[in-house]
Amino acid sequence: MDGGLTAFASVVRSFSGRRWIVRTADARQAALLAQAHGLPEPIARLVALRGIAAEELERHLAPRLRDWLPDPSVLDGMDAFAARLAEAVLRGETVAVFGDYDVDGTAATALLRRFLAAVGGQAMHAVPDRLRDGYGPNSAAFHALADAGARVILCVDCGSAAPGPIAEIASRADVLVLDHHRVDRAPQAAVAHVNPTLDRDGAHAHLCAAGLAFLAAVATNRLLRAAGWSRALDAAALLALVDLVALATVADVVPLIGVNRAFVAQGLASMAARPRIGIAALLRVAGISRAPDAETLGFALAPRLNAAGRIADADLGVRLLLTDDAAEAEALAQRLDALNRERQRIEASVLEAALVEAERQVHAGRPVILVAGENWHPGVVGIVAGRVRERFGRPAFVLAVAEGVATGSGRSVPGVNLGDAVRAAVAAGIASKAGGHAMAAGVTLAADRIGVLHEALCAACADAAQEPEALLLDGNVTVEGATAALARAVGRLGPFGAGNPEPVFALSGRLAHVGAVGAAGVHLRLALEGEGGARLGAIAFRAVGAPLGEGLTAALGRPVLLAGVLREDHFRGGEAVSLQVLDAAAA
């Protein structure tokens, strides 16, 4: 394995139009890490590339919550939040959890409901309908909860941008907010507001809503225990909620750094040992029989849970995560799987139309792509925006238009802050509602203002690079050196995701096979042959019809360079490995 890494050959322009840049590690630091910790040289080099200090290595390779979990009190507003929630439990007041319709909101809602039930609290929940209610709190929903007896309304994964509804309900119910979306200021009428993006040091701004919900549960449980409450939870019962945090952390694509790594690592271990009934049912319908990893959460579970909020009833996901009945879990999982297939069909239709207009705008030199369509389903515009961004390498917005109103989402590239851009559009009177962060944003505006918004976005992003972002490589691997042992060693640096990307390697060889696979025939199955005749299987997802796929098809039988991530091939079993191709170039 140590001989599997070789020198890097430069690529100026790949099949998808990208430059490849090798990341250089401090050779001395890598050697010290290898010697001090008994790491194979390639893995020590990867550790050095990630800037992991020697004294932090063990915590990084084996992240545990006891090493990383912060005291909840370090978050502004958490003490007031926990005090009011504990008071509600002690007094027997009904708490209504008001969530969001994505996986983070769904998981956080389920986590808080489960915690409150476990400590003997009275609770209910509500999740807004994407089409009927839109994002976040609304006055009608709040009054309905108060009418049902709620004396505390707990907003999770939303609420920071809803000062109006919070102020309106303040005379009937106390509102507590757990949110991580960027805003300029906290809603003043909230009894407690926890949003780490507003904290002075921003040290915990990488937490998703479910992570905040877990910390809120820890803080509230601490107060209940201090009050002598007999149903306060022990550490094991609190840790039983971490699988929900892991699911949300991966699905919400927050950085896998610090405590987030521990959340995901510990949550995955919990799922492997004894998955909760709803998650086990969803794994079955997704065809996953092995122990789940971060990729399983992001690409098998999250899309099925998200499908409910995108095109149907988001409460289906909450119910799945709350149920302890196997038959109900199976029925809900089957329903979510069917909704996901319907979501894929709708998405494909919108994407086909969006790509045609997007390509025209790219040829016209637009720095930002903005496409809109009458009666496009608003539940898939965010996914389609991501696909368009992925195809053309520049910021992309996709808007659904209905009854004179356009609602949609944007996805960005590094260096372009879409959240700031859409908030500026609201300030300028172009859009009526907007929010988000640097890499993803949402916007609502009158349909006749779409052109004005596009011009404003292009002006704001005029200096952004229009070339696809460079692909950063961690080094080269020979076909013979691409072994299961290397893949397992690389896996020690996981869980991988935003903030801790999976190592990317380049391999050279003859492209011996190219063939379309998948139900829609949009993926390419490849075989790369090394100098000694050894072959490595590879897959390029969604490559058919894209420049990458066209380049690969034309290169059949010729020498190529493939760039991708090396994985153990669980389908073939044994010591088989495969490469998930991210890009390719002529050798």
Please provide the DSSP assignment of 305-351 as one string.
Answer: HHHHHHHS-THHHHHHHH---HHHHHHHHHHHHHHHHHHHHHHHHHH
Question: Which secondary-structure segment (H or E) carries 84?
Answer: helix 78-91
CATH number for the 68-235 domain, one of 3.30.479.20, 3.40.190.10, 3.90.1640.30, 3.40.50.300?
3.90.1640.30
Two domains, one topology: 68-235 and 365-460: no
Q: What contacts 534, CB < 8 A, 6 or more positions away?
A: 479, 480
Please tell me the distance from the alpha carbon of residue 422 to that of residue 407, in angstroms, as a whole number.
12
Q: Which two tokens stand for residue 55?
A: 């004294």
Pick the closest to residue 241 from 78, 117, 85, 124 (CA basis).
117
Stretches where the chain sits below pLDDT 50 are 1-8
Which pLDDT score, from 0 to 100, does residue 74 have? 97
> Which residue type sits at 339?
L
Q: Where does 227-301 have alpha helices with state H?
A: 235-239, 242-251, 259-273, 277-285, 294-296
**CATH topology for 365-460?**
Diaminopimelate Epimerase; Chain A, domain 1 (3.10.310)
SS3 label, residue 94: strand
Residue boundaries of the structural domains of the chain: 2-61+470-586, 68-235, 365-460
CA distances from 493 to 41, 183, 337 (A): 14, 34, 31
Query: What average pLDDT does the structure give for the chain?
Result: 92
pTM for this entry: 0.90
Contact 203, 92 (CB under 8 A): no
Which pLDDT score, from 0 to 100, does residue 1 have? 36
Contact 571, 578 (CB under 8 A): no
CATH number for the 2-61+470-586 domain, one of 2.60.40.2140, 2.40.50.460, 3.30.565.10, 1.20.1330.10?
2.40.50.460
Which pLDDT score, from 0 to 100, does residue 336 have? 98
> What is the CB neighbour count within 10 angstroms for residue 81?
26
How many degrees, rounded to 5, is the angle at CA 126 between CA 123 and CA 131? 180
In which residue are the tokens 């919550």 written? 65
